[in-house]
Structure 1
Amino acid sequence: MKVLFVGPTLPDAARCAPGLDIRPPAIQGDLYRAVRDGAAVIGLVDGGFEYTAPVWHKEILYALSEGVAVLGAASMGALRAAECRAFGMVGIGTIAQAYADGTLVDDADVAQLHAPAELGWASLTEPLVNIVATLQQPHLPAGFTPDLCDRIEAAARQLHFKERTWAAIADRVDLPDTGLRTRLERDLKASACNRKREDALLLVAAMTAHAGERSPDRPAWVFQETTLWRDLLDRENAKLLMF
């Protein structure tokens, strides 16, 4: 079984990832449950945070210790892949590599507001990694000079991730009149590069190519069942008894 945790980064995952067990953005306990359910490979793209306990590094180590391949990309998956790469988690794509080599360090660079699953995970703000990727494209409209791109990026960085919309960014760029700001917003939207989606699709391809069996080999390190880990197991077992 191949389990993919994804939401706003790839809202059409059901179409783009046939054959994968698609589950919503991961929170604490979800990866453990995927291993318990029999997953041989787990792909982590999106994960909950801020209002819920995020997916725990210990769950990733547990999965790896059980021979499960764990891949991460684009969003929460890229962060966890960089943090757990020494233990065998594999980062996929440009964003994961940037966190691994230290080019990216702030977890807010991949964060964005989005609608719930019931509304198709629609994006409400733009993640900084997509904004930067947009400005680095070689074939932007002629008016996008290096100086203007630098000012757009600076404006985006000044905004909290919950406020990063193309309109808010354009409003913060010093331009002579409202008409130019409206045109800038329109051109940014038309030229937008969705780097997170690109990386998520690379992860889907890697999962699809995986044999779908757990590795018989075990890592050189030993998984430690700490008190906090046993607490999680107790909570999960209690949930099972409720149903």
Structure 2
Amino acid sequence: MKVVFVGPTLPNAVDLVPTNVEVRGPAKHRDILAAVGEGAAVIGLIDGNFEDVAPIWHKEILFALSQGVRVYGSSSMGALRAAECAAFGMIGIGNIYNRYASGELFDDSDVAHVHGPKEMNYVSLSEPLVNVLATLDELLMRHELDHAEFASLRTSAELIFFKERTYRAIVAKANLPDHSSRESLQVLLRTNAINQKRRDALELLNAIATADERRQKAPTDWTFAETEQWRKILYRGRL
């Protein structure tokens, strides 16, 4: 059994995976634990809920790994958890994961953005910083931004609260050089926007599709600690 938790990062994920991969919505607390109890051998974590519900607990991921489940993470909550749990065997995938794992990124809100509900295909209402950074890096490499514009736009993007971060706001609040046209820069950013979260999510789907559908041997270099708090969560209701 293979399961992937995904939502706004890849709204059409169900059309992109083979029939043996079950697509579930963004993960929340106990969802990975439940998937393990249902027999999952491979779990992919892309999107996760946070503000209004308890997020995926690291302990759930460690439990899954201790049971020989392959757990992959990318793009959003998955990239965060993969960077945090890599030492225990969680597999991180993609550019965003690499940036967190290297310490270049460290703030959870760098992958966060505001979006509509599933019924509206998770329409995006703000820009996650990781996508903005990928866009700025690409435009600098192509010499469509000079270094002064790049630096001012990046600083502006980093300072804006994630719920308010749009390309319009980034350009409006940037301390740009005198030679720069705000209107032209806004068009440039919008028309060349890179969705790095989606790119990384597609990499994860490919990894899951080719992964062995059987659980692997339990790790031998660390032992899962079943604390009293964990037992309360594990046995609260049936999986």
Counterpart-to-counterpart distance in 2, 1:88 and 1:75: 18
Question: Counterpart of 2:18 in structure 1: which amino acid?
Answer: P
- Superposed CA deviations along residues 173-206 of structure 1, whole A, max 9, x for unmatched, are 24699x9433322221101111111111111111
Counterpart-to-counterpart distance in 2, 1:186 and 1:5: 33
Q: In the alignment, does 2:173 pair up with 1:172? A: yes
**Contact 2:140 2:147 survives alignment (8 Å):** no
In structure 1, the partner of 2:30 is 29
User: Using a 3 Å threshold, how does the CA distance of structure 1 residues 65 and 143 change in structure 2: closer, same or farther?
Assistant: closer
**Contact 1:140 1:191 survives alignment (8 Å):** no
Q: In the alignment, does 2:215 pair up with 1:214? A: yes
Counterpart-to-counterpart distance in 2, 1:95 and 1:8: 16
Counterpart-to-counterpart distance in 1, 2:48 and 2:14: 17
In structure 2, the partner of 1:158 is 159
**Contact 1:9 1:74 survives alignment (8 Å):** yes
- Superposed CA deviations along residues 12-51 of structure 1, whole A, max 9, x for unmatched, are 1111223321011111000001101111100001111122
**Contact 1:65 1:219 survives alignment (8 Å):** no
The residue correspondences of 1:134-145 to structure 2 (distance < 5 A) are 134-137=135-138, 144-145=145-146
- Superposed CA deviations along residues 213-241 of structure 1, whole A, max 9, x for unmatched, are 1013433222122121112123332xx6x
Counterpart-to-counterpart distance in 2, 1:220 and 1:142: 48
In structure 2, the partner of 1:128 is 129
In structure 1, the partner of 2:187 is 186
CA-CA distance at 1:86 after TM superposition: 0.9
Counterpart-to-counterpart distance in 1, 2:94 and 2:9: 13
Question: How large is the RMSD of aligned CA atoms in angstroms?
Answer: 2.0
User: Using a 3 Å threshold, how does the CA distance of structure 1 residues 175 and 86 change in structure 2: closer, same or farther?
Assistant: closer
The residue correspondences of 1:72-91 to structure 2 (distance < 5 A) are 72-91=73-92
Q: Determine helix, strand or coil for the equivalent of 1:4.
A: strand
Question: Counterpart of 2:79 in structure 1: which amino acid?
Answer: A
Q: Determine helix, strand or coil for the equivalent of 1:137.
A: helix
User: Size of the alignment, in residue pairs?
Assistant: 237
Identity across aligned pairs (percent)?
49
**Contact 2:48 2:56 survives alignment (8 Å):** yes
**Contact 2:171 2:182 survives alignment (8 Å):** yes
Question: Counterpart of 2:26 in structure 1: which amino acid?
Answer: P
Counterpart-to-counterpart distance in 2, 1:39 and 1:217: 14
Structure 2: state its 5+ residue gaps: none
Counterpart-to-counterpart distance in 1, 2:121 and 2:114: 13
CA-CA distance at 1:11 after TM superposition: 1.0
Counterpart-to-counterpart distance in 1, 2:166 and 2:57: 30
Question: Counterpart of 1:4 in structure 2: which amino acid?
Answer: V
In structure 2, the partner of 1:4 is 4
Counterpart-to-counterpart distance in 2, 1:142 and 1:89: 37
Q: Determine helix, strand or coil for the equivalent of 2:92.
A: strand
Question: Counterpart of 1:148 in structure 2: which amino acid?
Answer: E
Q: In the alignment, does 2:206 pair up with 1:205? A: yes
- In the superposition, the TM-score normalised over structure 1's length comes to 0.91
User: Using a 3 Å threshold, how does the CA distance of structure 1 residues 143 and 117 change in structure 2: closer, same or farther?
Assistant: same
Q: In the alignment, does 2:148 pair up with 1:147? A: yes
User: Using a 3 Å threshold, how does the CA distance of structure 1 residues 86 and 29 change in structure 2: closer, same or farther?
Assistant: same
Question: Counterpart of 2:125 in structure 1: which amino acid?
Answer: L
Larger mean Cα displacement after TM superposition, 31-40 or 133-142: 133-142
In structure 2, the partner of 1:71 is 72
**Contact 2:149 2:177 survives alignment (8 Å):** no
- In the superposition, the TM-score normalised over structure 2's length comes to 0.93
